[in-house]
Each structure stands twice: as structure tokens, then as C-alpha cells.
Amino acid sequence: MNTRRQRLAILGSTGSIGTSTLEVVALHPERYEVYGLTAFRRTELLLEQCRRFRPRVVVVPDAAQAPALREQLAAAGLATQVHTGAQALAELAAEPEVDAVMAAIVGAAGLRACMAAAAAGKRLMLANKEALVVGGALFMQAVQRGGATLLPIDSEHSAIFQCLPADRAQWNDWIDHIVLTASGGPFRTRAPGSLSAVTPEEAVAHPNWVMGRKISVDSATMMNKALEVIEARWLFGLEPSRIRVVIHPQSIVHSMVACRDGSVLAQMGTPDMRVPIAYGLSFPERIESGASRLDFTRMNDLQFESPDPDRFPGLQLAYDALCAPEGVTAVLNAANEEAVDAFLGRRLGFTGIHAVNAATVEALSGRLGTIDGLDALLALDAQARQVARQFIAARSS
Ligand code: NAD
Ligand code: MG
């Protein structure tokens, strides 16, 4: 074990992954020290986290939030510094005193900070899948050049990572294909014809996992799995034909590696994100996660089935985007973020999410310029959001 405690920056500490990360960290005060926390809106919770974990730095998006927060921190007897804005977020991710970064912001908003952590050679625990979906080759290049250690936190990718040998050079020879499991979400058995009328409340009620609202909607459309196919392409360096998806409603088998020799390796556990988070924190060691254990004597059934393309048309968009020119995955992600936001705001119906995603990709596919860096990617992200918003507005008028 390290003699010095690992210093952590937890980006998005007030979210579902962020709070679960702090739960695991709290179990191991001798191993981890919280250097920095960041939040978007829930500053009350951020303050509570500061009282408990005493970080040196917090980052919030808006300068207007800072004075009140500084006052409250001082009143609590804390010397925590308050920084604001996207630049401060990236600076925290690259801070020399930070050893490991938990990227738990939702959406492309986390991309710049993830790239900064990668370029600075951090141990980068990646929950923020959208950042990798948007960043693609550029993200992986930053990881490689910076000498970062990229550790997947998404349960499926952690499962695959846990099944693979430590030497990455062997991965290609080991793997025939990988199988990402998907729960199928709340609408797995619902008649496709009735999906247009579902409400945000129904869509975020996931049967197995408690998660942020955006990823919960993504699970209901299976766009979450679509993003995960793209994420897997980059994390494991696999062509799309070697990435398969199977529905497994119990969420016990978190994903599988089908090896060259016909052997299939699976990682299992109760559906609890503290397990992949603990592995990201401790790799290559293993530490207590706090998750309850699997009891095989009480498990009735493990089912597996193919995803129905009529019910979940979004999945194919990922495969198509991976075969399209660079940038299309970023367009797909941006459209989806806008469409989910509109759905949660009751400005778009549930089936409209796929329609907007497909239309935005179609509209921009033939018109992509070269993507030579992060700024070009962020400009494309902004352009795709604008196009998606037009489609959303057209559908609601
Ligand atoms: P969440 O909505 O619960 O939390 C998101 C966090 O990001 C919050 O701390 C919020 O303050 C912050 N944030 C949001 N918008 C921001 C912005 N524009 N700028 C800066 N900070 C911002 O989301 P979550 O469920 O914790 O998911 C986080 C990421 O992890 C997502 O990319 C999600 O896909 C991924 N993930 C989540 C789970 C899960 O079980 N929750 C599982 C696998 C992967
Ligand atoms: Mg997942």
C-alpha cells in the first residue's frame, strides 16, 4: 500500500456517482484524502461534503455563487478555497498535488476537465462516458501522451476491465468479442406503441439502479447502451463488430469477455456502483466497497435476451456513428443531451428523443469539417445542439 494517502479530486461530487465515491472514500481514511470537490447547483450538499471531507479546493460554475459559499465555509471553520468556472474545473483536474481524478460530471460539460486530467497524467477514473464518446481518438491520444491511467467506472466497462489481463498489449489477442449487458430499463416489456406517452417520472424509475436523471432516461431509451458501445470502442480498442449487447434484466452479470478459445469470462455482483468505484480507486488492489454481497442461493434466475430494435432503435445509431466519419459520435451525443433535457422539461415526447437524435445526425453527417483539437470538437458539440434544438422546437410546434 502507498505510504502517502492518495489525493483525490472528485468532479461532480454532488451527483449519484460523486456521493457513492465519497461513501467508499469514507471507508478508507488511511488511503484517501479529498483534495477537491466540484458541484453544479447543489451547493448545500457541497457544503455538507466540505464539512465532512475538508477539501482544499471546491469549484462551482458561477462566480455569483462564490461569496455566499466562502462565507458559509468560513463560518464552518474551513479554509477551503472556492474557485469558479470551467477553467478552474480543468485546473483542478490537472492540479499537480492531485493524484487521482474521479470524472463524475454528466455530459460533454465534463470533457475539458477530463482532457486536462488525461494530459496531466492522472489516474483518471472515468464515469463521465459522454466525455469519451465526444472526445474519441483525441481523448485517447491525450491519455497516451500524458501517461494517464484510464480506469473505467461504468459498471459494464469495469466488468470487462476486471476480466482482462493487466497487460493491455494482450487484449486484442485475448478478445474475440465483448458482450455488454443492459437491464432493458423500465420499458423492456412495454408495448412499443405505448412509449410515446410515457412521462419523465416513469422513464427515470429504473428497476435496478438509482442514478442521475439523464442516465436514467438514457437507460429507458437504451441510448445509455449506445453510448457505452462507443465508450467500449475507445477503452478497449475494438472495432464495432466485436462489441455486442445483450439484455439481462437482473443486472447481476455486469458484462462479459468472449475469448478467442471459446471461454467466456463474466464479472458479477449486486447492482451497486460502489463496486466499480472501489476498483477504480484501489486498482490493482481491492478494497471494501460497502456493497452487499451476492447470495447465489437466493438468486432465482439469470435471463438473457436480444434487444428489440423496434423498441430500442437508438442502439443502432451508435454502430452507425462508429462507422461514420469522426465527429458523428459527438453529434449523436450532443443531440441526445438536448433531447433528454427537452424530454425531462416536457418539451419533447419520449419517442421524440430518438427522432431528434437520428435527424440531427442525418442533418450534420455530410457537413463535418476536420476535427483537429478540443476547440473544434466543442464547436461541433455546440453546432449539433443548435440543430437538435431546432428539431425539438419543430416537433413541439
Ligand atoms: P448526476 O446528475 O447524479 O450528477 C452529475 C454531477 O455533475 C453533479 O455533481 C452535478 O453537480 C455535476 N454537473 C452537472 N452538470 C454540470 C456542468 N454543466 N458543469 C459542471 N458540473 C456539472 O449524474 P450521475 O448519475 O452521477 O452520472 C455522472 C456520470 O456518470 C454520467 O456521465 C453518467 O453517464 C455516468 N454513470 C453514472 C452511473 C450511475 O449509476 N449514476 C453509472 C454509470 C455511469
Ligand atoms: Mg453502465
pLDDT at 2 over 70: no
Ligand 1 within 6 A of CB of 131: no
According to the model, what pLDDT value does residue 210 have?
86
DSSP code for 212: -
pLDDT at 1 over 60: no
Q: What is the CA radius of gyration of the chain?
A: 20
Ligand 1 within 6 A of CB of 276: no
Tens of pLDDT along 339-365?
Answer: 999 999 999 999 999 999 999 999 999
According to the model, what pLDDT value does residue 299 have?
86
The pairing of strands 6-11 and 81-84 is: unpaired
According to the model, what pLDDT value does residue 28 have?
98
Ligand 1 within 6 A of CB of 277: no
Tens of pLDDT along 195-253?
Answer: 999 999 999 998 888 899 999 999 999 999 999 999 999 999 999 999 999 999 999 99
Cell of 78: 474551513
According to the model, what pLDDT value does residue 300 have?
80
| Among the bound ligands, the one closest to the CA of 130 | 1
The rounded distance, in Å, linking the Cα atoms of 319 and 299 is 34
Ligand 1 pocket test: pick from 106, 223, 255, 381 the residue with the most ligand atoms within 8 Å of its Cβ.
106
DSSP code for 205: -
Residues 126-148, mean pLDDT to the nearest whole number: 98
Ligand 1, atom 4: nearest CA belongs to which residue? Answer: 15
Tens of pLDDT along 158-195?
Answer: 999 999 999 999 999 999 999 999 999 999 999 888 99
**Sign of the alpha-carbon torsion through 195, 182, 236, 154:** positive
Ligand 1 atom closest to 105 (CA): 7
Distance 393 CA to ligand 2 centre (A): 30
Ligand 1 within 6 A of CB of 113: no
According to the model, what pLDDT value does residue 367 have?
86
Tens of pLDDT along 33-82?
Answer: 999 999 998 999 999 999 999 999 999 999 999 999 999 999 999 999 99
Ligand 1 within 6 A of CB of 65: no
Average pLDDT over the chain, rounded to whole?
96
> How many percent of the chain have pLDDT more than 70?
99
Ligand 1 atom closest to 211 (CA): 41
What pLDDT band is residue 369 in, cutting at 50, 70 and 90? confident
pTM: 0.97
Residues 368-383, mean pLDDT to the nearest whole number: 94
Ligand 1 atom closest to 89 (CA): 20
Ligand 1 within 6 A of CB of 216: no
Ligand 1 within 6 A of CB of 94: no
Task: Kindly write down the DSSP assignment for every residue of 281-300, as one continuous string.
Answer: HHTTS-----PPPP-GGG--
CA distances to 191, 307, 336 from 197, in Å: 11, 21, 19
Residues 120-149, mean pLDDT to the nearest whole number: 98
Q: Which residues of 325-348 are buried (b: 16+ CB within 10 A; e: fewer)?
A: eebbbbbbbbbbbbbbbbbbeeeb
Ligand 1 within 6 A of CB of 283: no
Question: Which phi and psi (to 5°) does residue 144 adopt?
Answer: -70, -50
Residues 146-160, mean pLDDT to the nearest whole number: 98
Ligand 1 within 6 A of CB of 280: no
Ligand 1, atom 36: nearest CA belongs to which residue? Answer: 127
Ligand 1 within 6 A of CB of 340: no
Tens of pLDDT along 315-338?
Answer: 999 999 999 999 999 999 999 999
The rounded distance, in Å, linking the Cα atoms of 246 and 81 is 46
According to the model, what pLDDT value does residue 206 have?
84
Assess contact for 17 and 158: CB atoms under 8 A: no
Distance 217 CA to ligand 2 centre (A): 13
Residues 6+ positions from 9 with CB-CB distance below 8 Å? 35, 36, 37, 38, 92, 93, 95, 98, 100, 101, 102, 117
The rounded distance, in Å, linking the Cα atoms of 198 and 221 is 11
pLDDT at 391 over 60: yes
> How many percent of the chain have pLDDT more than 90?
94
pLDDT at 258 over 70: yes
The rounded distance, in Å, linking the Cα atoms of 50 and 73 is 8
The rounded distance, in Å, linking the Cα atoms of 198 and 253 is 28
3-state secondary structure 42-106: CHHHHHHHHHHHCCCEEEECCHHHHHHHHHHHHHCCCCCEEEECHHHHHHHHHCCCCCEEEECCC
DSSP code for 397: -
Ligand 1 pocket test: pick from 211, 221, 230, 270 the residue with the most ligand atoms within 8 Å of its Cβ.
211
Ligand 1 within 6 A of CB of 211: yes
Distance 133 CA to ligand 1 centre (A): 15
Task: Kindly write down the DSSP assignment for every residue of 178-198, as one continuous string.
Answer: EEEEE---TTTTS-GGGGGG-
Among 121, 79, 130, CA closest to 103: 130
Judged by average pLDDT, the poorest of 106-120, 256-270, 287-301, 381-395 is: 287-301
What pLDDT band is residue 308 in, cutting at 50, 70 and 90? very high
Ligand 1 atom closest to 129 (CA): 32
| Among the bound ligands, the one closest to the CA of 90 | 1
According to the model, what pLDDT value does residue 3 have?
75
